[in-house]
């Protein structure tokens, strides 16, 4: 198949951030294996190819990281991205040890506390909303996930605002910047220093948080080093905080754009998980993930050489009309099942998927118990500019309380 298409995929382009879906459609139709010479990557956009890409963790390696940003790429990537930037057997060893601390039971036991944190932030947001507009991201969606992670790890409440600010600093990108800015690197270092102190404290005296559980985790005498614990904590901040914030805001935005779909949710909050799943399909937080070719890979009569970067586009895969009926329609309750790739697939399937789903369910259920309607001020909504995640930096809303 020849790659004759004049469509340009630039993950740093603000126009692409506003609405990537027309670009994706053209890629799927015209260049299912796309090449960008200038930025030096290939991209796969069809559902079948993206799924195959996630599952082929030998030829498509994670070991140089999963971001296109040059500073994040390289053999050092696992220092901040933990086992997400590793291949087996190193990946499996670390993942198995970490999952001894990060258990479904621990997540279940966290739910009452997640509900408390949700209500605290909801109270503040709804009070500020009063008769006017309030920023749903600044007051709610941007605060809750980082607080949940801090709760899980054992960060004292007094430090959480600061930790949240550092986490935001790690992710922020200005217009036209195609690499990690100095401010983000500084925020990353400050965050790591904070967590280093926390790990050192737990080494002296264990508590019942995830940080202690990670230090205690052991398989046949094998334990996590301090650096490995730190890498995982940092991964939680990036992967677990950012994506859930985006999910909560994307759900609110698309619910507002499709009010007929939300009627069923107002009537029955048990349908919130279906709302979450359709949001994950329709406009997923994680749009683009990078892999590195090991050996070589042949697709569409084209051989991709060793060391080249291949981008997997789950954001495009979820709108593939080869797999979903009427994919550009937002339909709460549609059949999605195992076709969803928001959390990846295969060996690197997201360890935090159940935490993200639980958080989103609790947050949106409690919100809908308190309101009977809301409107998004679209003119003043501001998108996040990132080469791999999609969502809102600001989402002003007005609410009608029940």
The pLDDT of residue 375 is above 80: yes
Helix (H) or strand (E) holding 303: strand 302-304
Query: Contact 392/364 with Cβ under 8 angstroms?
Result: no
pLDDT in tens, 36-70: 999 999 999 999 999 999 999 999 999 999 988 88
CA atoms within 13 A on the CB side of 37: 2
Whole-angstrom distance, CA of residue 102 vs CA of residue 217: 10
For 266-298, b where at least 16 C-beta lie within 10 A, e where not — what string? eeebebbbbbbbbbbbbbbbbbbbbbbbeeebe
- The confidence band for 2, taking pLDDT boundaries of 50, 70 and 90, is very low
% the chain with pLDDT above 70: 97
Bridge pairing between strands 134-135 and 396-401: antiparallel
pLDDT in tens, 308-343: 999 999 999 999 999 999 999 999 999 999 999 999
Bridge pairing between strands 297-299 and 134-135: unpaired
- The confidence band for 307, taking pLDDT boundaries of 50, 70 and 90, is very high
- The confidence band for 123, taking pLDDT boundaries of 50, 70 and 90, is very high
Mean of per-residue pLDDT scores for the chain: 93
Average pLDDT over residues 147-166: 92
pLDDT in tens, 184-228: 889 889 999 999 999 999 999 999 999 999 999 999 999 999 999
Whole-angstrom distance, CA of residue 86 vs CA of residue 78: 6
Query: Contact 179/69 with Cβ under 8 angstroms?
Result: yes
Query: Contact 395/136 with Cβ under 8 angstroms?
Result: yes
Structure tokens at 334: 């549609």
Task: For the full predicted model, state whether its pTM sits above 0.85.
Answer: yes
CATH superfamily of 14-401: Cytochrome P450 (1.10.630.10)
The pLDDT of residue 178 is above 70: no
If you compute the radius of gyration of the chain from its CA atoms, what whole number of angstroms results? 21
Helix (H) or strand (E) holding 211: helix 210-216
């Amino acid at each position: 198949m020849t790659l004759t298409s004049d469509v340009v995929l630039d993950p740093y382009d603000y126009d692409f951030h506003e609405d990537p879906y027309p670009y994706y459609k053209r890629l799927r139709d015209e260049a299912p294996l796309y090449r960008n010479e200038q930025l030096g990557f290939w991209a796969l956009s069809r559902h079948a190819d993206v799924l195959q890409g996630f599952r082929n963790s030998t030829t498509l390696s994670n070991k140089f990281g999963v971001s296109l940003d040059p500073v994040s790429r390289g053999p050092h990537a696992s220092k901040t991205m933990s086992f997400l930037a590793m291949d087996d057997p190193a990946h499996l060893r670390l993942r198995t040890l970490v999952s001894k601390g990060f258990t479904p039971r621990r997540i279940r036991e966290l739910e009452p506390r997640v509900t408390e944190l949700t209500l605290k932030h909801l109270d503040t947001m709804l009070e500020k909303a009063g008769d006017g507009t309030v920023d749903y991201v600044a007051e709610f969606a941007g605060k809750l996930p980082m607080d949940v992670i801090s709760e899980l790890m054992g960060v004292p409440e007094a430090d959480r605002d600061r930790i949240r600010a550092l986490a935001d600093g790690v992710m922020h990108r200005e217009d036209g910047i195609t690499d990690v800015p100095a401010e983000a690197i500084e925020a990353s270092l400050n965050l790591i220093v904070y967590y280093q102190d926390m790990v050192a404290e737990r080494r002296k005296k264990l508590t019942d948080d995830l940080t202690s559980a990670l230090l205690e985790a052991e398989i046949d005498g094998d334990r996590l080093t301090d650096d490995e614990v730190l890498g995982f904590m940092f991964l939680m901040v990036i992967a677990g905080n950012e994506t859930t914030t985006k999910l909560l805001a994307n759900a609110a935005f698309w619910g507002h754009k499709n009010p007929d779909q939300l009627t069923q949710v107002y009537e029955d909050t048990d349908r919130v998980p279906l709302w979450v799943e359709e949001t994950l399909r329709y406009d997923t937080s994680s749009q683009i993930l990078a892999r590195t070719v090991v050996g070589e890979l042949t697709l569409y009569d084209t051989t991709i050489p060793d060391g080249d970067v291949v981008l997997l586009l789950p954001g495009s895969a979820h709108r593939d009309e080869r797999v979903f009926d009427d994919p550009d329609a937002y339909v709460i309750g549609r059949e999605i099942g195992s076709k969803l790739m928001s959390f990846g697939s295969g060996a690197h399937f997201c360890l935090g998927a159940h935490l993200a789903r639980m958080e989103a369910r609790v947050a949106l259920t409690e919100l809908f118990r308190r309101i009977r309607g809301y409107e998004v001020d679209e003119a003043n909504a501001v998108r996040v500019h990132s080469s791999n995640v999609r969502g809102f930096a600001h989402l002003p809303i007005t609410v009608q309380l029940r």
